[in-house]
């Protein structure tokens, strides 16, 4: 829903108090069409109280404030997860994997009339592995006749199936009671919501030096391992003090133990990257400067851009480069990474420690940009000049005009242009370039969308 883009989710007064941050999180998972969105609407009473709308890999993950029996929780709707940012279908289990990891408890929705499918079974497996509390919703039980369908779901081994008709409201109160029974008072995933130390993901293909960099940054004794969020599986965060500030490095167990590498497939590397990105605010993508840039390097960078997180690129193993290699590296960067000249760059050596002190300033810059809000007045004054100097080309005797613009959100900055007619992609990119020239945005992706007003 486009209108959600205009809800100001980054109101500084509203979002930052500590109590807000500790509210437990319930994820609603299940394959498409089982009734997840209907259930979410039922629970929140169709109040569109969006508290967070995370772009990128999981473009449509939407979190709502919910309350039942006097207890508040955040309800995460994964209804729109069928397609990832590149339009590729992710299997249901993979979407669920990330949602579950970022939740304290799970409402697993199955279509009781259809029964459990292979996709459902795949989700069941991962729910078992994750070990988080699950309430099984047997949905579309609209009347007494279908109650037997619900009972059949005992088979999948997740305990009692709760017969519900999300459409008519039947049984939804019982399900809410059940979820509150298993929901912890204190959220274990709250660290990934607003507030607290800033969250960094170290990313890159195998052997670029992630674990070496982590060791270098951590030193020997300043690391605090925070495994609250990792009680279930691999992900463990490390809190590391750098430049007088504490940073949360997310999912470091995956780096230290190389958990997914043993399972081989490229796919797990990409899933690990996605999961880390979900938790992070800024990513450091490591690229091995001593060898030619690979497609896999580019893919990781692109994943960060798509996720809407802030980005720093670290060219590692600088100690292994000679003048010739450095010459070719610059050519490769020009060729492969032209679209993101805005990412701060550091040339480092995790082994020798060369220029490692430049990492924190780069992270600060990227996060500042990510947080930037351009006041509406200033934005429109600037765009007025841009448009006057370079009007949109006339098409079919008409000239679409930009009437007004607003920054819909920060983290990353997203702009909405209201126009009198269709704005061509080329012109939108032109506006985007001019915004960068004027306001910088070093280290953050920005998004410019257009809405036509008749
Ligand atoms: P999602 O893809 O899992 O979010 O599913 P939706 O909430 O979009 O629902 C898919 C379809 O199932 C819609 O046509 C809903 O109206 C329908 N539906 C959802 N819950 C129920 C229910 O309890 N009973 C019946 N009969 N239909 C339902
Ligand atoms: P990861 O798979 O990304 O965690 O990579 P590792 O940190 O395990 O590093 C892979 C290999 O590269 C190891 O043999 C490291 O010692 C080596 N390495 C990492 N960083 C550097 C560096 O800056 N310079 C040199 N010469 N070797 C490095």
- pLDDT above 90: residue 87: no
Check pocket membership of 115 for ligand 1, CB cut-off 6 A: no
Residues with Cβ within 8 Å of 189's Cβ and at least 6 positions away in sequence, in order, are 25, 101, 102, 103, 104, 229
Residue 238 is inside which H or E element, if any? strand 237-242
- Per-residue pLDDT band at 89 (split at 50, 70, 90): very low
Please give the share of the chain, as a percent, with pLDDT higher than 90: 55
Distances (CA, A) of 353 to 214, 247, 319, 329, 359: 11, 19, 10, 20, 11
- pLDDT above 50: residue 348: yes
pLDDT, average across residues 158-184: 95
8 CA distance to ligand 1 middle (Å): 29
Task: Identify the pLDDT of residue 367.
Answer: 97
Q: Which ligand has the nearest atom to the CA of 80?
A: 1
Nearest to 122 by CA among 211, 10, 30, 244: 30
Check pocket membership of 32 for ligand 1, CB cut-off 6 A: yes
The least confident of 30-39, 104-113, 383-392, 437-446 is 30-39
Q: What is the tens place of the pLDDT at every residue in 356-391?
A: 999 999 999 999 999 999 999 999 999 999 999 999
In this structure, the dihedral spanned by the alpha carbons of residues 43, 48, 52 and 57, taken in order and rounded to 10 degrees, is: 80
55 neighbors 81 (Cβ within 8 angstroms): no
- pLDDT above 80: residue 224: no
Task: Identify the pLDDT of residue 11.
Answer: 39
**Residue scoring higher pLDDT (349 or 19):** 349
Pocket test for ligand 2, best of 201, 208, 209, 286 (most atoms within 8 A of CB): 209
**Residue scoring higher pLDDT (10 or 450):** 450
- pLDDT above 60: residue 258: no
pLDDT, average across residues 183-204: 84
Cα–Cα–Cα angle for 423, 427, 431, rounded to 5 degrees: 110
165 CA distance to ligand 1 middle (Å): 9
- pLDDT above 80: residue 237: yes
pLDDT mean across residues, the chain: 83
Cα separation, 308 vs 52, whole angstroms: 14
Strands 237-242 and 245-249: antiparallel
Task: Identify the pLDDT of residue 93.
Answer: 63
Q: What is the ipTM of this complex?
A: 0.74
Task: Identify the pLDDT of residue 64.
Answer: 82
Q: What is the tens place of the pLDDT at every residue in 33-67?
A: 898 888 988 998 865 544 444 443 333 456 788 88
| Residues with C-beta less than 6 Å from any ligand 2 atom | 204, 206-212, 255, 316-317, 319-320, 349-351
335 CA distance to ligand 2 middle (Å): 25
192 neighbors 228 (Cβ within 8 angstroms): no
Task: Identify the pLDDT of residue 329.
Answer: 98
Which residues sit in the known binding site for GTP?
30-37, 77-81, 139-142, 204-211, 251-255, 316-319
Q: Which residues of 359-384 are buried (b: 16+ CB within 10 A; e: fewer)?
A: bbebbbbbbebbbbebeeeebbebbe
pLDDT, average across residues 173-201: 87
pLDDT, average across residues 409-426: 92
Task: Identify the pLDDT of residue 241.
Answer: 87
Cα separation, 349 vs 356, whole angstroms: 7
Task: Identify the pLDDT of residue 229.
Answer: 45
- pLDDT above 80: residue 259: no
Task: Identify the pLDDT of residue 114.
Answer: 95
Please give the share of the chain, as a percent, with pLDDT higher than 70: 81
pLDDT, average across residues 406-426: 92
279 CA distance to ligand 1 middle (Å): 30
Task: Identify the pLDDT of residue 125.
Answer: 87
249 neighbors 202 (Cβ within 8 angstroms): yes
Task: Provide the 10 A C-beta neighbour count for residue 86.
Answer: 9
Task: Identify the pLDDT of residue 98.
Answer: 79
Q: Does residue 368 sit in helix, strand or coil?
A: helix
Q: What is the tens place of the pLDDT at every residue in 269-304?
A: 777 888 899 889 999 999 999 999 999 999 999 999
353 CA distance to ligand 2 middle (Å): 12
Q: Which residues of 203-212 are buried (b: 16+ CB within 10 A; e: fewer)?
A: bbbeebbbbb
Cα separation, 281 vs 201, whole angstroms: 8
Distances (CA, A) of 238 to 83, 252, 304, 340, 395: 31, 7, 21, 29, 55
- Per-residue pLDDT band at 436 (split at 50, 70, 90): very high
- Per-residue pLDDT band at 16 (split at 50, 70, 90): very low
Residues with Cβ within 8 Å of 330's Cβ and at least 6 positions away in sequence, in order, are none
Task: Identify the pLDDT of residue 268.
Answer: 65
pLDDT, average across residues 162-181: 95
**Residue scoring higher pLDDT (145 or 266):** 145
Task: Identify the pLDDT of residue 376.
Answer: 93
Q: Which ligand has the nearest atom to the CA of 170?
A: 1
Task: Identify the pLDDT of residue 255.
Answer: 81
């Amino acid at each position: 829903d486009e209108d959600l883009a205009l809800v100001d989710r980054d109101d500084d007064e509203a979002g930052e108090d500590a109590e807000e941050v500790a509210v437990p999180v319930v994820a609603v998972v299940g394959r498409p069409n089982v009734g997840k969105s209907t259930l979410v609407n039922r629970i929140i009473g169709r109040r569109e109280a969006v508290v967070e709308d995370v772009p990128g890999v999981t473009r449509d993950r939407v979190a709502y404030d919910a309350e039942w029996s006097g207890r508040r929780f955040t309800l995460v709707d994964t209804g729109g997860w069928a397609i990832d940012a590149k339009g590729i279908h992710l299997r249901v289990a993979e979407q669920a994997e990330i949602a579950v990891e970022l939740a304290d408890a799970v409402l697993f929705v199955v279509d009781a009339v259809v029964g459990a499918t292979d996709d459902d079974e795949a989700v069941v497996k991962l729910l078992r592995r994750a070990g988080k509390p699950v309430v099984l919703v047997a949905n579309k039980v609209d009347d007494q006749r279908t109650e037997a369908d619900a009972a059949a779901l005992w088979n999948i081994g997740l305990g009692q199936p709760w017969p519900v008709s999300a459409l008519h409201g039947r049984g939804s109160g019982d399900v809410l009671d059940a979820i509150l029974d298993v929901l912890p008072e204190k959220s274990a995933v709250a660290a990934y919501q607003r507030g607290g130390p800033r969250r960094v993901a170290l990313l890159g293909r195998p052997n670029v030096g992630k674990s070496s960099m982590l060791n270098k940054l951590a030193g020997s004794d300043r690391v605090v391992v925070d495994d609250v969020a990792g009680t279930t599986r691999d992900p463990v965060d490390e809190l590391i003090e750098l430049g007088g500030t504490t940073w949360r490095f997310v999912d470091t167990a995956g780096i230290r133990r190389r958990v997914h590498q043993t399972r081989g497939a490229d796919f797990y590397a990409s899933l690990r990257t996605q999961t880390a990105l979900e938790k992070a605010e800024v990513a450091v993508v490591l690229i091995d400067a001593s060898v030619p840039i690979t497609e896999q390097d580019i893919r990781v960078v692109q994943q960060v851009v798509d996720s809407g997180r802030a980005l720093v690129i670290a060219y590692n193993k600088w100690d292994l480069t000679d003048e010739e290699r450095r010459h070719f590296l610059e050519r490769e960067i020009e060729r492969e990474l032209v679209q993101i000249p805005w990412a701060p760059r550091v040339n480092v050596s995790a082994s020798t420690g060369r220029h490692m002190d430049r990492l924190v300033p780069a992270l600060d810059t990227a996060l500042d940009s990510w947080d930037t809000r351009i006041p509406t007045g200033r934005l429109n004054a600037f765009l007025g000049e841009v448009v006057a100097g370079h009007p949109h080309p006339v098409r079919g005797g008409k000239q679409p005009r930009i009437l007004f613009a607003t920054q819909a959100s920060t983290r990353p900055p997203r702009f909405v242009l209201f126009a009198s007619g269709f704005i061509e992609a080329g012109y939108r990119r032109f506006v985007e370039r001019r915004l960068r020239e004027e306001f910088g945005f070093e280290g953050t992706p920005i998004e410019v969308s257009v809405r036509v007003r008749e």
